[in-house]
Structure formats: C-alpha cells, structure tokens
C-alpha cells in the first residue's frame, strides 16, 4: 500500500476562485494533488475574507500562520511534508529558508502565477509612454528576486509558454527546473454550444476582472476613455457591463448609465454573467501570464476581442474566438461586427472550443505534473546536485532574508 504523501501549500492569500483567475488556478492545483492521493494542508498569513473558498469542503486542512515567527518552524517540523508549494515568489522568499532549514528533504515547488517581473516591466514602460523591450527585464529589480526564487526551488510551474521562453532564453534557466502548466479545463464539443444561450438570447458587451489587479483597472479606464466612445458613436444602443471584485470608489465613479457604461461590481456567478453576454471586451495594455477571463469566455461560448498582450501565450497560433486588435478604432469596429453578425459570432464560438481542446486539457498536464513530482521525491539529491546556481543561492542569498526575518521577530518580542 502506498504511503500517503503530505503536501503543504503556503498561500499568498486564501483562494477566492470567484474573485480571480489566480484563485481558480490554486483550486485546480489542489484538485490535481488531491486526486493523486496527497494529504493537503493549506496555510497563509493573510486575513480571512468573506469570499474565500471553504477548504474543508475539499478535504483540505486550513491553518493560519504568522510572518517572521518561529511558530512556523515548530509547525512545519511537526507536519513534516514531503512536498511544499509556494504561492508566488514573495512567499518563497518569506518561508523558503525556514522550509530548507527544518525540512531539507521536502520537494520545493514554486507556482509563479505569472512572471511578476514581466508584468512590472511592462507596466513601467507603459507609464513612461515607451515600448516595452525584452532587455528591460534584465534591469528590473523584481526580476532579480523572482529569478533567484525560481533557481532556489526544485521546480517552478509556469503558466505561459511565452514566459517559459523568456526564462530559458533571457534568463538561461534550465528546463529541468521549469514545468509548463496552463489553466486546465475539461474537453468540450460543439454540441455543448447548443446548451448555452443562443445569439439572440444574449445581450450586451461585458468586461470582468478583479480590480485589485492593476492591468484590469487600467483596461476599464481605457475602455471608458478610448474604446467605448468609438463603439457608441456607431452603435448607439450598445451597453457595456463591467463586473469585478473589490471595486474602489474611483472605479464606481465611472458608472454612467446614460452612456450605456455600467459598473456592476462583484459578480455572484461570473460564468452566468459571461454566458448571458454576447461579446467580451478586454483591451489589455500590460500584464503577464494567461488571462482567465478570456478562457472563461471560450468556455461560456462568448466570443471576445482583446489585444496581442491579452492573447499572449493563449492560443498556440490558432484562430482566436473573435479578434485580436491593438488599434482602438479597429477594436471598436470589430467589436460591433462581432456583436451584430450572427454567422461571424457562431464561427468565433467554434474557434474557442478548438483552442480549449488543443491548449488546456487537464489530463495532458496533470499526469505529467504528478509524475515529475514523484520523480523528484525519489531522487531529490541528484536533481539538486545539477542545479549549481540554486545551491549557490541557497548558500548566500537566503541569508539577508533570514536575518531580516529574525531581526523583525526579535523586535516584535520587545
């Protein structure tokens, strides 16, 4: 009989799958490991939220932990997990050295969510009104921290093939340390489209996205200031509903019903909102990773229009389920065409199913992840022996994080 393996997940926040794509991805990871016999404990130093998932329903043990405290050391020694998964590089910085010190044999996996250094560098270039260049990453401070974290871990989960290429080509990270793991969904067939609301039974344009995420807020501003006036000019009856968790006062101030621009706030069921909408608008101007809202649109049979950054890494060159357009005038023109042309709309729906079935099949990736994890568990020393830069960083780079944490801990006791 196989011994049950323990997985410890250290979360940046508690999972909120109805608030963000990151929350949905975390629940996908939990599902994969749970289905393969892992006993999972999820811990976080974040405050509880009203919208976090009830982990007990998924047979996952939940525990709150403290930052800069030896109480985590005592906890992890007692739990003695075989695998530790860090939710984003900031968590690995905070707790990775403690895991190495107290559970040196545990396999350390980093879920990057997306490359923060890529998102940060693009955002800086956007605000400085210049084109982003790949070499911007080499001078980005966040990159130094994030790449160090990737090197220190036994394996990093990368959500985008575009980001996989950056890590290998720009930062020269060995492919042995990386695993491509996109969003994972079930296979769809065209017959399932018949079960979804039809073209004539759908209304309005929609945008949906967590407002705590800066690229989403910027997208809504861009829609309001540049895209929507162009759409309304040629399609007076047009209505746009903007949904998103955690809208601030500055977001709510954009609500303008007379102009067909509605700020709707949090969606109780994002899937239902997208299913009843006719077209998703997502003119994203900076960011990284994969856009959960665009995959969700495909699953809901809702065509979308986005930018090249929005579609980046999402469709492997397959025809998009709508249009990809950076020019605002063309974006608006194609949005109207997609909304009004039923044949074009239906063809776009089918393109979305093709993308889902080619790029996001759960079974294609989950089995490989578990196989790779088990392989690391069988011989972690050999794997680490060939990661010299990671060993070097373990020796040196953790020291500043470790002693800063110890200093804060000592200060808190006084």
Tokens representing 208?
């949906």
Backbone angles phi, psi at 75, to 5 degrees: -65, -50
CA 59/CA 37 separation, integer angstroms:
12
pLDDT of residue 398: 56
The pairing of strands 5-11 and 38-44 is: parallel
Tokens representing 327?
């020019």
CA 354/CA 318 separation, integer angstroms:
8
The closest of 11, 46, 39 to 25, measured between CA atoms, is 11
360 SS3 class:
coil
The pairing of strands 261-265 and 322-324 is: unpaired
pTM listed for this prediction: 0.90
Which domains does the chain show, CATH number per domain? 5-184+362-413 (3.40.50.2000), 190-359 (3.40.50.2000)
pLDDT of residue 336: 97
Mean pLDDT by 10 residues, the chain (414 residues): 84 90 92 95 94 95 94 96 97 94 96 94 94 93 94 96 96 96 91 93 94 91 96 96 90 93 91 96 95 95 97 95 97 97 97 95 91 94 86 68 72 73
Q: Could you identify the residue written with the tokens 């540049």?
A: 226
């Amino acid at each position: 009989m196989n011994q049950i393996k323990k997985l410890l997940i250290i979360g940046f926040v508690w999972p909120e799958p109805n608030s963000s794509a990151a929350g949905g991805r975390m629940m996908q990871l939990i599902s994969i490991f749970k289905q393969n016999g892992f006993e999972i404990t999820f811990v976080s130093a974040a405050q509880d939220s009203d919208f976090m998932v009830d982990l007990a329903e998924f047979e996952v043990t939940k525990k709150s932990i403290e930052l800069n405290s030896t109480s985590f050391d005592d906890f992890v020694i007692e739990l003695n997990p075989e695998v530790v998964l860090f939710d984003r590089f900031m968590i690995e910085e905070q707790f990775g050295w403690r895991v190495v010190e107290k559970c040196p044999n545990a396999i350390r996996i980093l879920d990057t969510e997306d490359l923060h250094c890529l998102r940060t560098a693009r955002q800086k270039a956007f605000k400085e009104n210049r084109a982003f260049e790949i070499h911007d990453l080499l001078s980005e401070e966040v990159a130094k921290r994030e790449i160090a974290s990737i090197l220190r871990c036994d394996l990093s989960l990368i959500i985008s093939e575009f980001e996989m290429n950056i890590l290998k080509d720009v930062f020269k990270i060995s492919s042995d340390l990386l695993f491509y793991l996109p969003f994972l969904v079930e296979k769809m067939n065209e017959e399932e489209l018949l079960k979804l609301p039809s073209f004539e039974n759908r209304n309005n344009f929609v945008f949906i996205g967590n407002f705590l995420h800066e690229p989403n807020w910027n997208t809504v501003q861009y829609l309001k200031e540049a895209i929507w006036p162009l759409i309304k000019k040629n399609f007076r009856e047009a209505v746009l509903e903007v949904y998103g968790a955690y809208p601030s006062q500055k977001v709510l101030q954009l609500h303008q019903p007379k102009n067909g621009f509605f700020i709707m706030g949090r969606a109780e069921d994002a899937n239902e909102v997208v299913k009843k909408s006719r077209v998703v608008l997502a003119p994203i101007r900076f960011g990284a990773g994969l856009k959960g809202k665009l995959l969700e649109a495909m699953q809901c049979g809702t065509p979308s229009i986005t930018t090249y950054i929005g579609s980046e890494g999402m469709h492997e060159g397959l025809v998009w389920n709508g249009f990809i357009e950076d020019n605002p005038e063309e974006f608006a023109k194609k949005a109207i065409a997609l909304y009004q042309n039923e044949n074009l709309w239906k063809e776009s729906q089918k393109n979305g199913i093709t993308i889902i079935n080619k790029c996001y099949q759960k079974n294609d990736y989950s089995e490989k992840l578990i196989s790779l994890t088990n392989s690391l568990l069988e011989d972690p020393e050999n794997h680490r022996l060939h990661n010299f830069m990671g060993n070097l960083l373990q020796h040196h780079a953790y020291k500043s994080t470790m002693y800063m944490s110890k200093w804060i801990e000592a200060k808190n006791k006084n």
